[in-house]
Every structure is written in structure tokens, then in C-alpha cells.
Chain A
Amino acid sequence: MKTLVKIKPKDYKVGDIVKIDFMAMHPMESGMRKDKDTGQIVPAHYINEVNFLFNDKVLTKMVTWESLSVNPVLSISLKVSGAGTLKVLAKDNKGDSVETSAAITPKG
């Protein structure tokens, strides 16, 4: 699973609210689609859990379903309380998981 975390805007200071965008390359199979060639139903395969942690403290937890678009994008806010590391842990229903980090570096 390829992932990417973006913090927007690029420059911010303590007390600002920034936007966190998490993207993953994932098929998000619904378990309802038939394979065109074999006629078999493609088994469900989707990201079902995404947890955002700031300095190892839970910021936001998500339970997600197959209704999210393929290669999903999830955006939330963060009030910058200081410097630290934002970690995003994503898991899918087949047990694949990935951890993505981004540094929070307020100016001033």
C-alpha cells in the first residue's frame, strides 16, 4: 500500500489549524464487482481502519468502508500545539498495514 501525508499550508505557527491530507493507493474492492474475464466476484478488499496520532497520542480514529473511492483521500484538521510527529496508521481488511509519518514543524 503506497501512502502520502500532506500538511497544508506549508508555513504555520503554534496555535494555527492545519489541514492533514492522507492518501493511499488502494483498490477499495467492494466485494460486489464481477471480474470481467472470469465472471467471479472479486473479494472485498478495502481499508477499514485509519488512525492519526500526534506525538503518539490519538488525534483521530477512523473506521472506513468499501464505499470510499478507489485510492482514497481522507482529510482532517489539526490544531498545532507544538513541534512533533504526525503518524498515520492504515490497515485493510486483509491485514495489510502501513505507517506513514510527517513532521510538524511550526515556525515561531
Chain B
Amino acid sequence: MERRSFLKGFGAAATCAALVPSIVNAADEAKKVAGPNEMSVESAIAAITGGKPVTPSAKVTLSAPEIAENGAVVPVKVSVESSMSANDYVKAIHVLAVKNNNSRCANVYLTPANGEATFATRIKLGATQDVLAIAEMSNGTFLSAKQNVKVTIGGCG
């Protein structure tokens, strides 16, 4: 009986190489292969703002899991406080994964007809990193929010 439970534990450990929880820090590895649309987060932000400042703001809410069991499907939700009226609305929501080879995920250009400035999707994260949301307001300012997502290695399959 005891031998059996020992073997059980040992076998499971041997099969999956490590029982110790580990956090993926594969950012450098991911950088080895240059993707066709490689772009750093700095360049991506510059392209969005044209060099204007980006201010972290409580008006932008970014929800993502603190821990993602699977980096291939990470839910992300963004909402921006705004009246969405013709002269005061959110022109765009940009979602960026700061360490992905191509940090750009989606640029979403809204109109007052949306009624609310919300956007939700699921993204791939190559490694533990910050997810950044930038809101472009109709008055020309840029607000942001970010959240760190830890990407973990799952168990067997």
C-alpha cells in the first residue's frame, strides 16, 4: 500500500518532469524568433499616440486574470468611463501585450453609437507580462490602465 502510493507520486512526477509550480518567464525565448509583425510596446505606443503623453487613469478599467492557466486564451475586458456623446466620447481602445513579439493585439475604433466604451476579447500571452489598455479620448488625450498576468505551465496536456 505504502509502496504503491510512493510509486504513484513518483510516476506522476517523472512523467511531467516537475511537480514544482513554475511561472513562465519565456520572454527572451519568445524574442528568438522574429514574427512577421514584430513590434515593441514602445514603438506601438508611439504609433498610437504620435508621441503625446499617456496618463494612467482610474477612468480606464482593465480586467484580466492575475493568473492564467493557459497563455493561449487569456480573457481581457476593457471599459472606459465616458458619456459617449457626440462631443465627448472614447475614440479608440487599444489593447497591448507588452512582451509579445508583436505587442499589438487590437485597435478598436468606437463611435458614440456604441453607447458605452467597452471591449472584450481573448488574447495569447507568450509569457508572464503586463497587459496594457490605452484609451484615446475625443479631446485628444490618452488614458491607460495595465495589469500583470502571470502565465503558468499547466499539468499534463
Interface residues of A (CB under 8 A from B): 17, 19, 28, 30-32, 41, 44, 54, 57-70, 72-79, 81
- Chain B interface size, as a band, is 20 to 34
Q: Is A69 touching B124 in the complex (CB atoms < 8 A)? A: yes
Q: Which among B58-66, B115-123, B147-155 touches the partner chain?
A: B115-123
Q: Looking at the complex, which one of B33, B118, B121 makes contact with A73 (CB distance below 8 Å)?
A: B121
Q: Which of A66, A69, A70, A73 has the most CB atoms of chain B within a 10 A radius of its CB?
A: A69
When the two chains form their complex, are residues B120 and A60 in contact, meaning their CB atoms are under 8 A apart?
Answer: no
Contact assessment for A79 and B116 in the assembled complex, using a CB-CB cutoff below 8 Å? yes
Interface 1/0 per residue, B33-77 and A, CB below 8 Å: 101110000000000000000000000000000000000111000
State whether B105 touches A64 (Cβ < 8 A).
yes
What is the interface of chain A mostly: helix, strand, loop, or mixed?
Answer: strand
Contacting residues, chain B, for A41 (C-beta < 8 A): 33
Q: How far is the CB of B56 from chain A (nearest CB, A)?
A: 22
Q: Are B108 and A69 in contact (CB under 8 A)?
A: no
Q: Which of B111-144 contact A (CB under 8 A)?
A: 111, 113-124
With a CB–CB cut-off of 8 A, which chain B residues contact A74? 106, 119-121
Known: A31-B35, A69-B73. A63 touches B119 (CB 8 A): no
A17–B116 contact, CB under 8 A? yes
9 of the cross-chain contacts (CB-CB < 8 Å) are: A30-B102, A44-B36, A57-B113, A60-B114, A62-B106, A64-B107, A69-B122, A72-B122, A75-B118
CB < 8 Å neighbour of B114 from A32, A44, A76: A76
Interface members, chain B 62-108 (any A CB < 8 Å): 72-74, 84, 97, 100-108
* Residues of chain B contacted by A58 (CB below 8 angstroms): 111
Does A60 lie within 8 Å of B116, measured CB to CB?
no
B105 and A59 contacting across the interface, CB-CB below 8 Å: no
Residue in A17, A19, A54, A76 with the greatest tally of chain B CB atoms within 10 Å: A76
CB pair A65 B72 closer than 8 Å: no
Residue of A nearest to B113 (CB): A59
Docked complex Cα distance between A57 and B110 (Å): 12
